[in-house]
Every structure is written in C-alpha cells, then in structure tokens.
Chains A and B, each alone.
Chain A
C-alpha cells in the first residue's frame, strides 16, 4: 500500500518537475478517497537535485470485509478478502494499482499541461516498493520488469525473523531504476504488473478489464516475452477463482473450523482443470485400456467410482454398448465440472437417460450401486488413507458386488522414469500411498480371495523391462460369474 517514485535533476531540469508531471504539488500532502480507502500523495524530499513522491493507500480492512452484503462469510466476494487478517493494508497489491491509476490518471495517459513536452521524454526514475507480493518470487519480478528496460533489485522479505526455519515470505522489496523510460510508461507498467505479481484472488474484475489491460499495455505488452503469463494472470482473476469460492463455501467453513486453508481439503479437482483440458497421453492410454476391458466383459451398466470430472463417463457415452453409466464422486465440485463438461442440462432426453452423476463415498456402503455389470476405480484407491481401504473394499466388492471391477493405480516403481518428478515424491499431492507391483498384486489378491473374485493384471502404458508400466491395472471377475461363463462355454 506504499510506493515511492523518485527522480533526479539539474538546475536546468529540476527534479521537482516530477510534481508537474504527476499533477501533484510537492509542497502539500494531498488526500484522495478511493473505493478501498484514502490515498495520500506527499513528497519526503523535493529539491532540484532529488524529488521523491510517495503514494500511501490507507486501506480500510474492516470495510473491505464488510463491503458486500450477502450470504456466507460476511458477504465478501471470495475467500481471501473475507479475512480480517489480511495483507491488503500493507502489501502493494492491485488495490494500490487501482489507487495509482486514480490518483495519477493524467500522468498515466502522458498528459501534462504545464510541461507538455516533458511528458513524452524519458527521465531518470527510481521506484521503490517495500512490500510487493510476488507469486513467482524475485526471479519472476526480474523477468517481468527487465525486458521493459528496468534495472531490478528484488530482495525477498523473510516471513518471521523469530522463526528463521519458516523461510521467505512471498513479498519482495523492489527497487526499479531506469533512465530511458517516461513516467507514463513507468506508471502503466506498475498498474498492470503489480496485480499480476500479486496474483491474488481478491476482487471482482470488471467486464471492461480487458480494455483497461489493452490501454495500459499499449506499446509494451505485445512485445513482452511474458505476455501470455501477464495476460492470463491479469484476467484469470475474473471468473474461476471467485466462482469456486462461492460454490464451495461449506468446505471453506470446514477448513476454517480446523484452522487450515481450503486448498488443503478442496483439492479433489486438479489445478490444471481450470484451463483447457490437455489430456496427457497416459490418461488417454488408461482410458483406452479400461474401455477395452469393459467392451470385452460385455458390460452394459457401468459404474465409474471416483469419476472426477467425468472424462471416462464422456468416453463411455460414445459407445452404445454402455446403456447405463453412473458416475460417482465424493467431490461436489468435481461433479459440477463433470456436469458442465457433459453438458447434461442440454443433452437429449434419450442420451441423458443413460447417464447419472451421484455424490457418494466409497467408505460407505451404498444401495444405489448394487446390481451393476461393471465398476471402474481409476486412480482412486491411492487417494484414500490405507486404514480406510478395507471400508472401500467392502463397499465395492462386498456390498455393490458388480460382475467386473477394474482398478488402476500408479506403479511407484515407474516414478524413477519421470524426469520431472523429484525422487521420493508422489505423483499427486493427495496420493496417500503409491504401490509397487508386488504390493498391488498382494492387495488385489487378498481382496479377490476374500470376496470371491478372480483377478488378472494388465500393464497400462509402456511396460518397462525393469520397473514395469507407469499404471498398473487389475481386472476382477466375480467367481460365480466365471463359473457361469465356463459352463456356458462348455
């Protein structure tokens, strides 16, 4: 909520010209009211040699929280803003950017009545932002400002000196210096890049925000090497994050009850899902392998247990063999995404009658799931704590008892082949365990024996001679069913 802009000068071109360029008199402290608090402009130093303008935004944190009236958490539009404990009053965020554009609007446009010719000329500039929230750290700060002609000094601020083991905070102390930029360009850089670095999910982006970005980015954004990141971060605040928070307020509250962050528990849907779907080849191979098993087993009525965002359901719908497809997931958010992906509300009646999405949990028995031909648990078991696994086994193999069960799970041995995966890391943050081939076989064997199934194993993906395939698959067939088939064959 604080930054300074300094320049140096000569008797011919005094530094105090900055006051004209900014349209703010160096001899006064001026206050302007903005929608989030009062902005002050004042000059700690102002003489011919050096002149510094300071912009101080006094954020009204309580008003920030209480702004909206509505349901839930004080009516604030999203999670972070609803906290009374908030870095907004201290950090140079998009609120400061908004204040900047309000207070220095003429300067930003490069208009100066008193010194019209100076407005278009470069001047020596030094900008200091003592607490800049920077997701991406000093490195990204440099990548964003250096291409624009700034000399960048960005030092990370430690979280708490009392607890050095906590490391650095997400704030940097930023100093920008340039000789070749106009004041208007400098202000426009700040106006766009402060919120981009902040990348916080914190205020409603108005529909005209695209136009604002185009205006402020005129002349520098199109050529910027990080243009894509800047644009997507600047605009991504608009929809997904705020809407998510609205959708899952119940989970937000449960996280708060436990003094944890909502991301810790509302993580059933991977981060990549917010963007375009880019199916990794392995996911496609897995789906193909599952479909092959289901086709072979002549299943008509199929359960996708842990259907996530409905990719498999979508694939099943394309084949007429599958007359009834039920996607089950415990995450309401995942189901909502699946619903949108499948366009269930716009699907024809006949097609829609083939598919249902249900919230359910595999740690409970569920009478709705009884009597199906096949059930798929693709990349599901590893999301359950091991002590809860017997409950899932019972719910699927003991209670629902479909004729065929397909289970896929990562083969941990293969992890050494993933170059990007640090040694010892699971493939997904929520994986509670990852099994070797031997562990998976042992588990599947016990389950099959206990519940009267036969089990066979198939590799999915390239079967590495040393570490096996990336995904392992077990196919279970109910025993009495196997006998029936044999009898028929005979």
Chain B
C-alpha cells in the first residue's frame, strides 16, 4: 500500500485477479460487496450468501438458515471450480473460520484464493443498512462487530493462505477500483507451435545437440519458427549438465524454447539457494561440473530454475507438457499439490525390489482430451497410452534421447553415445500400464452414457442397453484391442406396394433421389454372415500397433464374437487375405501395414448352424412331415363328396409355400471342410494406418477390392457384383430394378443400395443413410415366414414401422464412423472402444428384428 501514489489513487486502483481463482470479498454488512461484485464480475461468477439463504429458507436475512445456506454456497462454488470457472464469494467473510473454509475449497480444486477487502467506515455501512427496508432493523452492534473482526483480520490474510490480497480503504477507493483479469502462468493456450518436445536430457549435451540438429535447429533456432519444449531433468548424472543448461537457457531467453522443471532441477535449485540436500542420484556430478563455471552463470541458473513454471497448457488446450505427468483435474491449476505432482508424480507408497518408489499409474486412468507429454520415468520406447506419452527414453542410461513433433505426433530420436550412468534398475520393459495392460475402465462404458461424434453430435446409450452390451462384450467378444469397429445395422427400403412384394428397389432409389443423391451403387447382398477382418502385415505390426502378442489380427461377427473357436483357423484366413494384399501391392499403395475390412463370410450355415437347425430346418421338417397327410386326408374327404375345395386349395398353397421356404434356407447352407467351401467377400476397406476410408467413394473402394480378390490364389475371396444407377434417370432405375429381379429370381438375397459418394449429407446437412437394403422376395420367407407372400399376410405385414430402425441405423453408423476416425487418429484404446461399445449397446434397443 505504501508504494501507492496519490495519482493512482485518483485514477483508481487496478486489481489484478487471476482468471481461474476463488475471489473472496471481505467486508462488513453494508460495505458495498454486492455492488462491487456486480460492477466487476459477471452475475454467474458471483455467489452471495444472502442469495443462498433465500434459496434454502425463502428469506435472505434468516440468520437461522446460515448453515444450510453456506452448504449450498460451498457446493455450488465447488462445482464451478471443478469446471474451471472463476468464482467470487459475496459474504462478509470477516471471521477467520469462514475464510478458512473458502481457502480449503480453493485448495481442494487447486485454484488461487484471492482476497479483496472492502474496508469502509462503520458509519457508512450502518447508514446503508438503515436505508434498506430488509435490513433496517439490523442492530448497530452487528456492523460494529463486523468492522472489529475485519480490522483484526487484515494483517493475517496472506498467512491464512490468500495468494493475493487487495485492500481497498474507504468509499472512494472502492468506487474507483478496476479489476483486470490476469492469465495464469501455465496458460499458454494461445501458443500453437509447432513444437518439438524433448525428453529427459540429464546432462547429455552432445546427444542434445545431435537431436536439435536432426530436428532442424541451427544454433538453437528453427528456420520454420518451431518452438522446442523441454520436459525437465536437464541436469544430473550425465557428462555435461552446464552445457545443457547453457543451451536450454539461451533458447528459452530468445523465445525459441519453453521449459518446465524436473525434480532434478528443483533439487539443484535448492542446493544453489544454500539448502541442505543429499548429493545422490547424480547431483554430485552436476555440482562438480558447475564448480568449473562462473559465479555469474550459477546465479543465472538459479534464477532460471526459480522462474520455471510447473507445467504448460499449450495449443488451445490440446497439449499439456510437464515433467512427471499430470491428471486432467490438475491441468492449468495452481497449487502446491499440482506443482508437486508435475515434478514428482504420485507414488503408491510401496517400493519395488530395487528400493525405488512404485509410481502410481496415473496415465492408465487418464481420460482427458488434452495430450499429456512428459518424462521422468525411463522407458525403452516412447509409446502413447490414453493420450499420454513419456519421452524419457533413458539417454543417460545408454538408451536414446527422444523428441515428439507436435502436432504431427512424430517421434524423432538419437541414440545415446554410451552408457553415461548405470541405472539402479533395468529400463522397464513396458510402457506404464504394461503391454498386457492398456486397461479399459468400466467407467468408460458402464451406465447411461453420451458419446460425442463428429458426424451426428451427441449419441446417448441407455443404461439397460449398456448392461447387455457389457455382458456380451466381456464374455464373448474378442480382445477389445482387436475390435476397433462394429458394423451398424441397416434399414430396409420403404415398404413396397407392388403386388406380391414387401420390398422392391423402386422405393430405395426414390428415397435417395429425394435426398438429392443422384448416383448410387447397387451391391449384391451376399448370402452369409457379416464379418469384420482386421489384418496386420505381421505379428510385429499387431504387437506394435494393437498391443497384442501372438495374433496377427481378428475376424469377428456383428457382435464382436470370434467366427472360429480355433484361433489357427482365423490365422489361416488372415494369412490368405494377407497374401492377396502382398500380391496386389495394396500395402504400399495404401501406405499401411494393417487394414480393417468390412465383409461377408459365407456360408451362413457356418455361423448360424444352431439357429438353422433349431428354427429353420425344424420348420422345414415339421411342414414336410405334416402336409402329405393333410393333403391325403383332404383328398379322401373330397373323394367322398365332402365340400373341401377351398380348404384343399389353400392347404396345397401352404404346402408349396413351405417347400419354397425350405428351398430358400437351403441356399444358405453348404457343407464346409476346414476352410474348403468358406468364402469371404470384402466390400469395404474401413480404415488403414492413419486414415479412415469410410468416406472413399464406393466405386473406388470396389476397384481396390477387385484387385485384392484378383490376387487371391486360395479361392477364399469373392468379389461383390455391383451396378451403378442414376436415381434421376428412369431408364437407369429400371435397369437397377431388372438387375435385382434377375438376381433375386435366381434365389439371391437381394442388394444394398448405397450413395456412390459413401459418406454424404443432404443439402440441408442431414446425414444420409449409408445404405438401404432391398431383400429378395424368396429370401424374405426366412424372415417373415413361409406364407408371408399370401395377400392377406402381405397386407398386414405392410404396416411395418421403419422410423426407429432408420434412426438406429444412422446413430450406429455415426458411432462406427467415430470409432474409425478415433482409430485413424491414433486415439487411445478407450476412446475407440467407447464408440464400438456404443454400437453394440444400441443393437439391443427394441426395434422390430425383421427389419
């Protein structure tokens, strides 16, 4: 206060207030806190005790409700602070106890507590209260007591824990003050880089210079204006800590680099300040090397270390850099606890067999959107885990020095020139969480959930559907790491009015025409089971990209179950597809070492044999057994002159329907021996390394797949017949219809009509159905029963409701696309799994299963 000049007093005091903080207004009743809060903060930032008293008791001045009112106030403040919103508490807060509760709250949410004191003369307060109807009978002694308590508090506020204290004395100073919002030191969200984030160096100066050179820096400056970011642990153990410090400090000073502190700098800094620290873990080397440096340099180092900020939030909040990793709730927060976690990480309290503390695997639990890049724990390879990556690859222990290019997410490393320091324990062979681990958490999938999708916004999953999906996913599905996608359900075409038909292509073409889609592709519907195949180039790829040891991919059904109980059969199929990929040159052309295929596996009897026997063949057997007797009886009666003409005709018709039904299901059955007779018809490449191909037009897709099939020498792969149709051209539509009639007339299952552009929207921006199925007349006997074509049955079946199915198809489609996008972007497993799980859960929604 003493430094204030008369001039600033006149202009008004300027009060810096951090953007994320808990601001506590301190002042007697009538000191003008509410007016002050209204003037300087937004209405939703301010929580007033009077208001809360009103909420719980209908009377803002009911002192008996004070306890409950503050419970509400603390609760709301807690929610706001947890969400990262500045909060201003408008209560008298003149007593230390009241302030302690607020300081605890600020600490709990790791935000700065700031006090603004309104020290207004007691008479003014009393006068103002007297002028207010609701406070007119407030005894004078209340304000007296407030003022007394305020005075007593003033000197202690900083000691109580307030990180900033602004005291405004007198009415004029209160009136003239202005509040300016200050950013936190760790908030560098406005910096977008690009960045090169460099792992733990530990005095390996030569390796650092080599790495900087490899990254394109010349003398600490990048020609394209990139910024280096150091994750800390510049010093200790290695041969030239002063050299590293000199380089990093110069780059930071010139604005070419950012640096966060590691635990080793922190300890050395304390040493430089004259504190007593143990010269272990390589500090002795640093101290010795720094002895040779000038006093001036040591002073600069001390100031540099002193000024380091525990962590940075960069690139619009997409990137967080710190030394030892940081859970999401600490991002951008400011407290001793946050600093400690950023520097040291969290330990479980246990020690391992080498006597070193066991670190709490925070990254396994990490579910934040920001990528966290850190170091601290030496690992042999830098690998992503849940959107976090540790760049400490043990350069000083003879490993390598690693950098991450951001936003490219590319790793660049240089090997250590030698083992500079013997590690206390061997470098851990696994990333945190372990290759076995990469665990998924129940909270990622359980209960009612909302999944954010790029293509269709928020999609909710109901609790009972998630529960059913959990059961199937846990007990029957393949390893989630090998289950990056589940196919969406597909809506049938609008019900046909054509006599004898329930489904007919005319409606499908018309629907797309109305959606403004001119070019569509009709693809033959294969007579098998939907199958998704993940094919890796080799086991090493499967291990590196999908984290599994052993299998080279997966082949699974619409609910994620493996097609074959015997893994060697799956491997044999994968190997045949792989050979075709090798021969066709598609690996190179698609620049990938894995592909995800959407396909149909035939025959249907391979998977559905249980259902076939218990349901379909059973109907065939029962009808086959009964009709000869029925017809014989009717003919006998007719021969006796009993009038049964109609009945006999009807039963003959039903017998024919039943026979047609038997023929219909038989087309889906053939005997296989091992893989002999098994066929796989891929119809879409869903994704490859770094790319979702869900938006690749279907003609290009099919052209790629034709080449794949062409190069299959094993007879496994089969092409998909197709025909392009222009929905606006009646002749073309007729040709499409004829094609369908011809195909289904020969017993084919039908076709799927898809927009040629694959992933398309209407002019109004609505997502278009990715496909509409038109099932063949005979095939539908398997679905709607042998006699569905009888006019009286068709008439009733035509009142089927498609809206829910269509909506479901679109929601599942969007979730599937989301899974592919997340997979392509290299997002963490739980993110991909969340979307895949959503598809499975939605499949258990109640919708007419015949559609």
Contact = CB atoms under 8 A, between A and B. Distances in A.
Interface string A231-271: 00000000000000000111101101111110011001000
Contacts of A366: 441-443
A360 to B, nearest CB: 6
Contacts of B480: 363
Determine chain B's interface SS by DSSP, over half rule. Answer: helix
B626 A130 contact: yes
A275 interface: no
Contact of A394 (B439, B478, B782, B849): B439
A204 interface: no
Contacts of A111: none
B475 A259 contact: no
A143 B814 CA distance: 57
- Interface-centre pick from B436, B467, B633, B843 (highest chain A CB count, 10 A): B633
B846 A54 contact: no
B595 to A, nearest CB: 22
Interface stretch (B239-247, B249-257, B553-561): B553-561
A83 B615 contact: yes
B124 interface: no
Nearest to B609: A166
A58 B793 CA distance: 14
Interface of B: 350, 364-365, 434, 436-437, 439-446, 464-465, 467-476, 478-480, 489, 529, 550-551, 557-559, 561, 604, 607-608, 610-611, 613-630, 632-637, 640, 642-644, 647, 650-651, 654, 658, 661-662, 666, 669, 671, 782-788, 793, 796-797, 840, 843-850
Given A44-B637, A160-B621, A366-B442, A260 B471 contact: no
A62 B611 contact: no
A361 B647 contact: no
Given A261-B610, A364-B444, A332 B783 contact: no
A364 B796 contact: no
A251 B472 CA distance: 8
A259 B647 contact: no
A2 B669 CA distance: 29
A470 B616 CA distance: 41
13 contacts: A42-B637, A43-B640, A44-B632, A91-B622, A157-B622, A162-B666, A253-B847, A265-B475, A361-B473, A364-B439, A364-B446, A365-B364, A391-B439
A254 B642 contact: no
Interface stretch (A66-74, A113-121, A310-318, A458-466): A66-74
A249 B846 contact: yes
A84 B850 contact: yes
Contacts of A58: 650
Contacts of A74: 848
Interface in A338-397: 359-368, 383-384, 387-388, 390-391, 393-395
A398 to B, nearest CB: 7
Contact of A268 (B436, B475, B847): B475
Nearest to B620: A160
A214 B772 CA distance: 55
Contacts of A273: none
A323 interface: no
Given A86-B785, A254-B844, A130 B629 contact: yes
Contacts of A368: 442
Given A56-B633, A250-B464, A28 B642 contact: yes
Given A87-B618, A131-B626, A159 B846 contact: no
Interface in A140-160: 157-160
Contacts of B551: 387
A482 interface: no
A383 B489 CA distance: 29
Given A1-B626, A260-B607, 16 more contacts: A4-B629, A52-B633, A56-B630, A85-B661, A87-B619, A90-B625, A130-B629, A131-B623, A250-B844, A251-B471, A253-B844, A254-B559, A359-B446, A360-B442, A383-B475, A399-B439
Given A54-B633, A251-B844, A258 B621 contact: no
B637 A394 contact: no
Contact of B633 (A44, A71, A165, A331): A44
B833 to A, nearest CB: 9
A254 B440 contact: no
Contacts of A159: 613, 617-618, 620-621
Interface in A156-214: 157-160, 162-163, 165-166, 169-171, 173
Contacts of B626: 1-2, 90-91, 130-131
B619 A85 contact: yes
A72 B848 CA distance: 7
A419 B704 CA distance: 58
Nearest to B469: A254
B346 to A, nearest CB: 14
A426 interface: no
A363 B849 contact: no
Contacts of B470: 330, 359, 361
Given A90-B626, A171-B621, A254-B844, A165 B671 contact: yes
Contacts of A173: 625
Contacts of A163: 617, 669, 671
Interface in A55-104: 56, 58, 61-62, 66, 71-74, 82-87, 89-91
A95 B25 CA distance: 80
Which of B468, B651, B787, B788 has its CB near the most chain A CB atoms (within 10 A)?
A: B468
Contacts of B444: 364
A442 interface: no
A431 to B, nearest CB: 12
B59 to A, nearest CB: 35
A85 B783 contact: yes
A265 B479 contact: no
Contacts of A44: 632-637, 640
B785 A62 contact: yes
A330 B785 contact: no
B617 A160 contact: yes
A250 B465 contact: yes
Contacts of B610: 260-261, 264
A40 interface: yes
Contacts of A169: 617-618, 621-622
A2 B630 contact: yes
Given A71-B846, A165-B671, A365-B439, A43 B471 contact: no
A61 B783 CA distance: 13
Nearest to A393: B436
Given A29-B647, A71-B846, A250-B465, A398 B437 contact: yes
Nearest to A478: B350
A90 B619 contact: yes
A387 B787 CA distance: 46
Contact of B468 (A54, A254, A256): A254
Nearest to A1: B626
Contacts of B479: 387-388, 391
Chain A CB within 10 Å, residue with most, of B364, B465, B471, B557? B471
A394 B636 contact: no
A65 to B, nearest CB: 8
Nearest to B661: A85
Nearest to A333: B471
Nearest to A386: B567
Q: Which interface residue of B439, B623, B632 has the most chain A CB atoms within 10 A?
A: B439
A412 interface: no
A138 interface: no
A480 interface: yes
